[in-house]
Amino acid sequence: MNTFHRGRRLRSKKVLRDMVRESRLGREDLIQPYFVVESDPDFRKPIASMPGQFQLGLNQLMGDVGTAVDAGLSSLILFGIPVEKDPAGTQAYAENGIVQQAIRRIKDRWPELIVVADTCLCEYTSHGHCGLVSPEGVVRNDPTLALLARTAVAQAQAGADIIAPSDMMDGRVAAIREALDEKGFLDTPIMSYAVKYSSAFYGPFRDAAESAPKFGDRKTYQMDPANWREGLREAAADVEEGADILMVKPGLPYLDIIRLVRDNFDLPVAAYQVSGEYSQIKAAGQNGWIDETAVALESLIAFKRAGADLILSYFTQDLLKAGHI
Ligand code: PBG
């Protein structure tokens, strides 16, 4: 009689399925990205390639964050869209840069909310690259480090809870750690975009943050999607340099990398479900081809199953508001 395994026994009732579920999604796992615009505090513009996401002036941002906090939001990450861009990305580290202003306002109103600052130059440079560019058009590594460190310090001074470098310059975690410590921010953690691929899935983000490179691409600093061993080297370097949380980005097409980082390091692991992943689900949902909410929740639980502790996702605020998490 007992010749085969009856896997259906544990699937027969909802409560039983709930009891044997191996991965769970909690609201404290999720981080909502926001795009904050400097030009006008009441600015509000839908991002065409990311339905449901907006470029927001400061007042609008406060309104949207407030609604999300009421729905249970515990953390967000900020990206800035400055009025002025220049070759050195000055507004990234200006004391009154737009992200620094936003951090101050948000932390003043919701001191318990965990505010993550994306630390990069690409939204602030006129050429759109994540570092300084030589006259020959080469993205220069070492001179960029001091600017990234200045950016991190300006963000920490404004009240950022977590610094998240996304530039992929070599040595930036060490440079940022040293600068933060020197200014007394010994307890400010670094969540490094440790394993960040050069991905076409970032397309909609570059519209949202107006940060597309004006020439060339990011392949000399972001990773080749074909590589996994290199991901281990990048993660190991960031651990060595003092990272506190390791991020893998993009998310769903890179679940193998999330699992790899989970199994090889003991730091918390974050996964970024990037703009293109979000927009694909949205577009298919809007066409009636898939159930958007069900697919969004399934993709988020996949991150947890793969070993991610934290997930950055544009679905966060809507899922919270609708009571799905
Ligand atoms: C900045 C940065 C990017 C993203 C996060 N931080 C863009 C890029 O590297 O080109 C992408 C996020 C997304 O696509 O949702 N360097």
What does the pLDDT read at residue 130?
97
Ligand 1 in reach of 278 Cβ (< 6 A): no
Residue 149, pLDDT > 90, answer yes
Pocket lining: 100 vs ligand 1, CB cutoff 6 Å: no
pLDDT of residue 318: 98
**Cα(220) to centroid of ligand 1, in Å?**
15
The beta strand positions in the chain, using DSSP E, are 30-37, 44-46, 54-56, 75-81, 114-119, 132-133, 139-140, 162-165, 191-196, 245-249, 269-273, 310-313
Q: What is the pLDDT of residue 316?
A: 98
Task: Please list the active-site residues.
Answer: 196, 249
Nearest residue (CA) to ligand 1, atom 12: 274
Binding residues for Zn(2+) are 120, 122, 130
What are the CA-CA distances from residue 158 to residues 93, 99, 105, 116 (Å)? 11, 9, 9, 11
Residues flagged as binding site for Mg(2+): 234
What confidence tier does 2 reach under pLDDT thresholds 50, 70, 90? confident
Domain spans in the chain, listed from the N-terminal domain onward: 23-321
Query: Which residue's C-alpha comes closest to atom 14 of ligand 1?
Result: 202
Q: Examine residue 250 and say whether the peptide bond preceding it is cis (omega within 30 degrees of 0).
A: yes
Ligand 1 center to residue 289 CA distance, Å? 27
The CA-CA-CA angle for residues 254, 256, 257, to 5°, reads: 70
The 3-state secondary structure of 198-211 reads: CCHHHHHHHHHCCC
Measuring from atom 11 of ligand 1, which residue has the nearest CA? Answer: 202
Cβ-contact 50, 279 below 8 angstroms: yes
Instruction: Give the whole-angstrom CA distance, residue 231 versus residue 217.
Output: 20
Q: Which atom of ligand 1 is nearest to the CA of 275?
A: 15
| pLDDT single digits (tens) 54-111 | 999 999 999 999 999 999 999 999 999 999 999 999 999 999 999 999 999 999 999 9
Taking the C-alpha atoms of residue 119 and residue 137, their distance in angstroms, rounded to an integer, is 22
Whether domain 23-321 has CATH 3.20.20.70: the reply is: yes
The rounded distance, in Å, linking the Cα atoms of 121 and 228 is 26
